[in-house]
Structure 1
Amino acid sequence: MTMQESGLPPGLEFYETDLFIPTYRLGDGDNGWRLRAAALSISPGYWTPTRLVRDMVALLRHGDTWMSTSPMELESQEIGVRLAHGHVLICGMGMGWAAVNCALRPDVTRVTVVELDPAILALHRELDLTAQVPPSARAKLHLVQGDAYSFVPDQPVDLLMPDIWLPLMNDGRVEEVRHMQANIQAGAVYFWGQELEIARHGVAWGYDLDDAGIAATIRRLDLPLIGPAIDDYAGKLRGAVRQHMRGRWLPGSVSPPLV
């Protein structure tokens, strides 16, 4: 059957990643949480174009998708995972993808996950994703029930990765991350939707969305953000802006031309 005969748009490529995607057991959890899958779907990336996705799994609650194995979701956490090192503290368990992939990184010594909702913790006890990774990675993973806004670690943290929000952007996100960082004092931070917040603030401050403008913006945000160490970070950031900003710039900003 051709793409046209299947009803799918022609020219779409399949999404591929070298990062680990666990196998999820589908079903219903407590407090309205559900895991569902689609055998074949079409999804935009975070910074890349729309592609076909095989066997995409989503974590749903009351009709909202909190996480999925879509290109957008995985790419939007990928930089933090690839730069993970030492003791990583993740706020928000979600589907556990970032936690498991951080634990698989050789430079990571410990992964602490802080999750507020006991129903999500119960769901992960049933899923037992750690059974799908080697014992060396499994031993690094530690789940803690707690509030991301008040949690204080009992040992130094090298990388803080907060991902506790349903929308990709919200106006208070930078201040919320600063609040978490004040308690945690991590050596580095990578938060969900970071590229869009760098872009929004940088444009509002009159910077270009290039390497120099991004570096200047990060300095003014007063957070130890990582990301520019990734190849073509500025290009990826601009790709995320094209895909997802949709005019939601900070008040008074003029939408920049993006090439």
Structure 2
Amino acid sequence: MSVPAAQGPATPDPYTGALFQPLYAPMSRGDWALELVPMLVAPGYWSPARLVQDVAVLKRRSSTGQWSTWMSMTPMEMESQEIGIRLAHGHVLIFGMGMGWSAAATAMLPAVTQVTVVERDADVIALHQALGTLAQLPDQAHAKLRVVQGDALRYVPEAAVDLLMPDIWLPLVGGDRVGEVARMQANVRARSIYFWGQEMEIARHAVRDGRALDEAGIARTVAGFGLPLLGPQTPDYAERTRHVADRWMRDRWLS
């Protein structure tokens, strides 16, 4: 797999993702609403800030009536899942439907034979059914998809899983994400895993334990997780991990 190297200063060039992207329209179901932002400048997970047009934003209403952004089709959101998607093969299990983008992009890959999406909230599933998000795929890719309502921390798959991709968290980094992925893996027993924000979690744990963010330090940290993570074997992964930690960690290091 080849992915673009981390970049520096902002560029005026518009961002265009290389993977399949569904078309979105304003829609709401229950406490969820999808909106379109005509234009904004947004940084990537590791690429420079770019102009992005007609950005789909998924928002959730809290019990107090306040709306917060849950996910968006910004360069950061897409690049932070791209390694996992590009390495996907066989039966892929995705926890969290979100924008439906990662499921759609994964199903488009010839190496992928089946995509199971587990989403806890029935309104999110209903929103995407109304939008026809996954129905936009060609028939051969659409036939690979199955959406199930369920809890990521309890779900037990009916068939062997080649890649588990959990993305159920609101912040990019924080909490006991590694522990939660380990709980999922205890039920799933996937052959490989790529979870959202894993570079940040690797960096947090490595630095806490006094390890450098180089190949050796990352390898030791990942071994300590006890999870079959995809990504660390790819070129420039250590450089990428340092870059995203620099850009996105802020004050969320482990003590």
Please report the TM-score for the alignment, with normalisation by the length of structure 2: 0.91
Distance apart, 1:164 and its partner CA: 0.5
Residue identity over aligned pairs, in percent, reads 54
User: 2: CA distance between counterparts of 1:23 and 1:98?
Assistant: 13
Pick the aligned partner of 1:104 from 85, 88, 108: 108
Q: What are the equivalent positions in structure 2 for 1:9-48 lying under 5 Å apart?
A: 11-30=11-30, 32-48=31-47
Q: Is the 8 A contact 1:189 1:225 kept in 2?
A: yes
- CA–CA separation in structure 2 for the residues paired with 1:131 and 1:119: 17
Residue 53 of structure 2 is matched in structure 1 by 54
How far is the alpha carbon of 1:130 from its aligned partner?
2.5
How far 1:168 moved relative to its partner? 1.0
Unaligned runs of 5+ in 2: 1-9, 62-66
Name the residue aligned to 1:6.
Answer: none
d(CA) in 2 for partners of 1:122, 1:234: 40
Q: Distance in 1 between matches of 2:11 and 2:135?
A: 38
Q: Which runs of 4+ in 1 moved over 2 A?
A: 10-13, 228-231
Cα distance, 1:171 vs. partner?
A: 2.1
The one-letter code matched in structure 2 to 1:21 is Q
| Whole-angstrom distance in 2 between the partners of 1:213 and 1:155 | 34
- AA aligned opposite 2:41: I
Report what 1:257 is aligned to: none
Give SS of 1:59's match: strand
Unaligned runs of 5+ in 1: 1-9, 252-259
**Partners of 2:134 and 2:35 in 1: CA distance:** 20
- TM-fit CA distance, 1:243: 1.4
Report the 3-state secondary structure (helix = DSSP H, G, I; strand = E; otherwise coil) of the residue aligned with 1:48. coil
The TM-score with structure 1 as length reference comes to: 0.90
RMSD between aligned residues: 1.3
Matched, 1:167 2:180: no
More deviation in 206-215 or 116-125?
206-215
Equivalent in the alignment of 2:147: 143
Residues 25, 11 of structure 1: alpha-carbon distance in 2 compared, 3 angstrom cutoff: closer
- After superposition, give the CA deviation of every residue in 1:81-109 in whole Å (9 maximum; x if it has no partner): 00101100000000100000110011101
